[in-house]
Chain A
Amino acid sequence: MNNKQLPIDGKGFLNNPQHRAVFFQIIALIAVIFCAFYFANNMFDNIEKRGITTGFSFLDNTAGFGISQTLTNYDDGTSTYFDVFIVGLLNTLLVSILGIIFASILGLLVGIGRLSNNFLISKLSLIYIETFRNIPILLQILFWYNVVLAALPSPRQSMNYLDSVFLNNRGLLIPEPIFESGSSAILISFIIAVAAVFYLTRWSRKRHDKTGEEFPLIKVSLAILILAPTLVYFIVGQPISAVYPELKGFNFRGGLAIIPELLALLFALSIYTATYIAEAVRAGIEAVPKGQKEAAKALGLKDHVILSKVVLPQALRVIIPPVINQFLNLTKNSSLATAIGYPELVTLFSGTTLNQVGQAIEIILMTMAVYLTISIVISLLLNWVNAKMAIKGR
C-alpha cells in the first residue's frame, strides 16, 4: 500500500477550481459537438445509401398544382416550388398579421370590459375569456370552419349586398379594384397626406404644451387623409375602376374572394388569442396604483381621458411583455390551418411540396427557419416598443 499524501496546496492543473470549471465545460462542449456531428453524419450516410436526392435544386422545378389563395401571380402550370414557398409564407403572414390586429383590438376591449363596473359587461367578458381560453385551439379552428361552411349558402343562393358583395360557402366576394395609369398619383398624395398629419400632430402637441390650447386634431387629420387622395382621384381622371364578382356557371368570376378557410382561421385565432391578451390587459390595468386614477379624478378629468392618458400608458409597461408571447403564439398556431386546408406555409410547403418532392430535411429546415425568423422579428420589434414605453429615469 502506498500511502502517499495528496499535496494540499494542489499545484496540478485540475486542482485549480477555475481551471477545472473551464476544463469540464470544454469537455461538455466537445461531447455536444460530437453528438451533433455524429447524428448529422449518420443522416447524410443513410440518405446517400437510399439514393434520396438532396440539395435545394428542387426549388427551381415546376410545382404544377393549384392553390386556393395566392397573393402573388402564382400560375399552377409554370410556377416553381420556390413560388409555392413564397405563396405559403405570404398566406401565413397574412393570417398572422390580421389575427394580431383583431386579437389586440378584441383583447383590449374585453380586458377593459372585464374591469367594468357594469355587471353585464364584466360578467360577459369573464364568460367569454373562460370559455375560449379553455378549449384547445385546434378544436376551435375546426368548429369555426364547420360553422362557416354550414351557415353559409351555396354560390347560387349567395347572400347579396348591392350586387357587389356576395357571401356564400365559397367565401366572401368583394369587388376587385383595378389600378390604371395615374393611380400612383393617388398613392403619392396619400403618402403626402400621412406625412402632413404626422407633422400636424407634432405641431399641435407643441402648441398644446406651450399654450394649453386644444386643436381638433382627429377631425382635421381625417379630413386631410380622405380629401387629399379623393381630390387627386378626380383630378387625374378616376383611374381606379372595380371588377364586380359575377355568377358564371358554378362559381363567381372576377372580384376578390376571401376564402372560408381564411375566415374560419382568422376567427378562431383572434378569438382564442384575444382571451390571453384580455387577461394581460386586465393584469396591466390592475397593476396601476389606485391613487393614480383617484388623483386624475380629483383633477376633474373625464373617465375616457383617465383611461387613455393616465391608466393605459402606465398599464402598457406591464401588458406588452406577455402580449409579445401571445403574438408569437398566434403566428405559430396559424400552422394548425393544415387541419382545414388553408394554404399557409405548413400546408403548402411542408405538406404538399414535401410529398411531391420527398426531400423532408431541406423542406422542414426551411419551414422551421421561417417560423424562427418571424418569431425573432416580432419579439425584436416589440422589445423595441417595450424599451420605448419603459419609465425613463429622470
Chain B
Amino acid sequence: MKVTKLALLVGLTAAIPSLSHADTLQDVMEKDVLNCGVSTGIPGFSAADSKGVWKGIDVDMCRSVASAVLGDASKVKYIPLTAKERFTALQSGEIDLLARSSTWTATRDTSLGLNFAGVNYYDGQGFLISKKLGVTSAKELDGATFCIQAGTTSELNLTDYFKSNGMEYKAVTYDTSGQTIDGFKKGRCDAVTSDASQLYGLKLKMDDPNTVMVLPEIISKEPLGPVVRQGDDNWFNVVRWSLFAALEAEELGVTSSNAEAMMKSENPSIKRLLGTTGNAGENLGLKSDWAYQIVKQVGNYSEMFDKNVGKDSPLNIDRGLNKLWNQGGLMYAMPIR
C-alpha cells in the first residue's frame, strides 16, 4: 500500500510540466498585474518619489504595457533592480518586462536570451566632473579616476575611449547609482561616467549642482529600451507596439487630454490607432482600445518625455535625437495598419 502511494507521488511529480514562461501575455492577464523591473532610482527614468509613487520615462513604459494589456496603468508591480541584477531577474522570470535604461547591444540581444523590443530613449555616455578641476574636455582627463556603476556598458566604453585616445584611467565600480554618486561626492573619484541622461539626474543629487558640470563629449551610442525574454514573440509584439503606439499618437497629435475627442476623428490613421477600425488590438491578443488606454492613461511619447526628463521636469533635457523622425530625430514608429 505504502509503495503504491509512493509510486503515485513519483508519477505525479513527473507529470508536472517543466516550469517555463512561454506565454507571458497570458500569465500577466491571469495575475492581473505586470511585474516590471526598474532601477533603484535614476531620476527621470525610474525613481520613487517621497510618497513612494514610481515616476519616469521607463516607468511610463511599464504603465503603457499595463494599460494596453490590463486596461489599467496602475496595475504594475515595480521591482527595483541594480544594473547587475537586471538581466538575471528577467531571464529567471521574476519580472515580465525590464524597463531600466538598458543599452541595446549585440551580446545582450543574443547570448543572454533576451530581446530588445525597441528604443524609448537614444542616449550616449558622458562625464560628470567637478568644476574646480578646471577641465573642459574629456581629452584632458588622462590619469583621472572614475566612479562607475558595475555591470554597465559604461564600464566597457570607458576602456575603449581611453585606449583609443592613448590615455590612462582608474575605475572604481559600485553596485548602485546611489553609491556611485556618493563616492564622487566624497572625492573617491574625479569624475562619474554614465549615460548622459543619468548624469543630469545625478547632478541634481549633488549638494550644490552648480559645482559640477557635464562635459560636452559623448563617447558612445546608448540606445535604451524595454527588454523581454527571447522566444515569446507574442509578448515581444505587445511591448514593441505599446512603444510604437505612444510614438504614433504623438505623430498624429493624439494626447491624453484629447484622446476621448479623437475617438470621433475621421482620420483613418487615428481610427486605426484608437481601434475604432481595424483589428490591430485583436491581432496582438489585446482589446481593440489598447492604444487608446495607453494614450489616455499614460500619454503620448512627447508627454512622457516632457513630464519626466524634458522641459517640464527638473532635468530639462533637450529632446535632441529623441525627436520624431519628421522633426529631425530618430523616433520612428512603424505604421499601424
Interfacial residues, chain A to chain B (CB-CB below 8 A)? 27, 31, 34-35, 38, 41-42, 45-47, 49-53, 64-68, 76-77, 146, 149-150, 154, 169-170, 248-251, 253, 259-261, 338-341, 343, 347, 351-352, 354-360
What separation, in Å, do the CA atoms of A272 and B187 have in the docked complex?
27
> Please, which residue of chain B has its CB at the minimum distance from the CB of A34?
B10
- A355 & B172 in contact (Cβ 8 Å cutoff): no
What separation, in Å, do the CA atoms of A77 and B164 have in the docked complex?
10
What separation, in Å, do the CA atoms of A53 and B91 have in the docked complex?
12
- Choose one: B22, B84, B92, B183; the contact of A352 (CB below 8 Å): B84
Query: B261 on the interface (CB 8 Å rule)?
Result: no
A-B contact pairs, 13 of them (CB 8 A): A31-B10, A46-B18, A46-B19, A49-B22, A52-B111, A53-B111, A64-B160, A66-B158, A77-B163, A341-B150, A341-B173, A347-B150, A355-B83
What separation, in Å, do the CA atoms of A260 and B188 have in the docked complex?
9
Known: A65-B156, A352-B151. 8 other contacts (CB 8 A): A42-B19, A45-B18, A52-B113, A66-B170, A67-B171, A149-B186, A251-B170, A338-B175
Neighbouring B residues of A52 by C-beta, 8 Å: 91, 111-113
- B18 & A351 in contact (Cβ 8 Å cutoff): no
Minimal beta-carbon separation of B278 from chain A (angstroms): 32
Query: B229 on the interface (CB 8 Å rule)?
Result: yes
- A51 & B231 in contact (Cβ 8 Å cutoff): yes
Query: B230 on the interface (CB 8 Å rule)?
Result: yes
What separation, in Å, do the CA atoms of A173 and B22 have in the docked complex?
55
Neighbouring B residues of A65 by C-beta, 8 Å: 155-156, 158-159, 171, 173
Q: Which chain B residues in 131-162 approach chain A with CB under 8 Å?
A: 133, 141-146, 150-152, 155-156, 158-160
What separation, in Å, do the CA atoms of A341 and B150 have in the docked complex?
9
Given A77-B159, A360-B91, residue A68 in contact with residue B173 (CB < 8 A): yes
Query: B325 on the interface (CB 8 Å rule)?
Result: no
- Choose one: A170, A340, A347; the contact of B145 (CB below 8 Å): A170
Among B143, B187, B188, residue most surrounded by chain A Cβ atoms (within 10 Å):
B188
What separation, in Å, do the CA atoms of A35 and B86 have in the docked complex?
29
- B91 & A50 in contact (Cβ 8 Å cutoff): yes
- A351 & B183 in contact (Cβ 8 Å cutoff): no
Interfacial residues, chain B to chain A (CB-CB below 8 A)? 6, 10, 13-14, 18-20, 22, 83-84, 86-88, 91-92, 107-108, 110-114, 133, 141-146, 150-152, 155-156, 158-160, 163, 169-175, 179, 183, 186-188, 190, 229-231
Neighbouring B residues of A338 by C-beta, 8 Å: 175
- Choose one: B18, B155, B229; the contact of A66 (CB below 8 Å): B155
> Please, which residue of chain A has its CB at the minimum distance from the CB of B170?
A68
- B88 & A360 in contact (Cβ 8 Å cutoff): yes
- A66 & B159 in contact (Cβ 8 Å cutoff): yes
Neighbouring B residues of A64 by C-beta, 8 Å: 156, 159-160
What separation, in Å, do the CA atoms of A16 and B145 have in the docked complex?
74
- B188 & A343 in contact (Cβ 8 Å cutoff): no
What separation, in Å, do the CA atoms of A356 and B150 have in the docked complex?
10
Among A35, A150, A341, A354, residue most surrounded by chain B Cβ atoms (within 10 Å):
A341
Given A49-B231, A50-B231, residue A150 in contact with residue B113 (CB < 8 A): no
- Choose one: B113, B151, B229; the contact of A355 (CB below 8 Å): B151
What separation, in Å, do the CA atoms of A38 and B144 have in the docked complex?
52
What separation, in Å, do the CA atoms of A51 and B152 have in the docked complex?
22
Minimal beta-carbon separation of B125 from chain A (angstroms): 13
What separation, in Å, do the CA atoms of A132 and B314 have in the docked complex?
43
What separation, in Å, do the CA atoms of A341 and B142 have in the docked complex?
22
Report, nearest first, the 10 A-B pairs whose CB atoms are least far apart.
A355-B151, A52-B113, A66-B171, A358-B112, A53-B111, A50-B113, A65-B155, A355-B84, A149-B186, A250-B144
- A150 & B186 in contact (Cβ 8 Å cutoff): yes
- B88 & A354 in contact (Cβ 8 Å cutoff): yes
- B172 & A341 in contact (Cβ 8 Å cutoff): yes
Given A358-B108, A358-B111, residue A249 in contact with residue B142 (CB < 8 A): yes
- B145 & A250 in contact (Cβ 8 Å cutoff): yes
- Choose one: B19, B83, B158, B230; the contact of A50 (CB below 8 Å): B230
Given A51-B113, A347-B150, residue A66 in contact with residue B169 (CB < 8 A): yes
Given A66-B169, A67-B171, A347-B173, residue A47 in contact with residue B84 (CB < 8 A): no
- A251 & B174 in contact (Cβ 8 Å cutoff): no
> Please, which residue of chain A has its CB at the minimum distance from the CB of B174?
A341
Neighbouring B residues of A35 by C-beta, 8 Å: 13
- Choose one: A50, A341, A352; the contact of B155 (CB below 8 Å): A352
